[in-house]
Structures are given as structure tokens and as C-alpha cells.
């Protein structure tokens, strides 16, 4: 087995990172998420969007914007165009 010398750091450049965010079909069904939705006046889409944006912000903050976070689109397919545009604000 080859191991690099300890003073060499291996760096891999990535430009995209997949954060998943798919198949959350039970979103809004737990008591905790229902309480948040009620307290903050959110629906399932806005609750999901808030989470996705927080994950994307976290990724960008650790990579100084050098990495673009991407997600699967299955949860977005049911949204109308107006709701999707909110995602980019």
C-alpha cells in the first residue's frame, strides 16, 4: 500500500456538491415541523425551501463560493413557476 509522505497534502478540486434534498415525502408530517410551519406561517414548499437554502449557504460558506451546491429535482417538480422563482431570491 502506497502512502504519501505526511508533509504532502492531497487537494481535490470540485465545483459541484450534491446535497441530496430528495425524497422528503414525509415533510411537514412530524409534530416538530408542523409546529414550525404553524408558528412561522409556512407551507411545505416554503419549509423545504428554507432548509435547501440553509444547506446551500452552509456549503458556500465553507468553500468561499467556489462550489455550487446542487439538489435532486423530484421535490421541485410539483411546484409552480412562481414558487420556483422564489428559490433564487
Given 20, 22, 23, 85, the catalytic residue: 23
Nine-digit cell string for 78: 410539483
pTM of the full structure = 0.70
d(CA 75, CA 19) in angstroms, rounded, equals 13
Q: What is the pLDDT of residue 34?
A: 93
Torsion angle, alpha carbons of 69, 70, 71, 77, to 10: 130
pLDDT for res 11: 58
Q: What is the domain partition of the chain in residue ranges?
A: 16-86
- For residue 9, what pLDDT is reported? 45
pLDDT of residue 87: 63
Would residue 23 show up in a list of annotated catalytic residues for this protein?
Answer: yes
Amino acid at each position: 500500500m502506497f502512502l504519501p509522505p505526511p508533509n504532502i497534502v492531497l487537494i481535490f478540486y470540485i465545483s459541484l456538491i450534491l446535497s441530496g434534498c430528495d425524497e422528503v415525502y414525509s415533510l411537514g408530517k412530524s409534530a416538530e415541523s408542523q409546529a414550525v410551519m404553524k408558528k412561522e406561517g409556512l407551507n411545505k414548499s416554503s419549509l423545504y425551501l428554507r432548509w435547501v437554502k440553509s444547506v446551500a449557504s452552509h456549503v458556500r460558506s465553507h468553500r468561499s463560493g467556489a462550489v455550487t451546491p446542487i439538489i435532486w429535482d423530484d421535490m421541485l417538480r410539483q411546484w409552480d413557476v412562481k414558487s420556483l422563482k422564489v428559490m433564487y431570491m
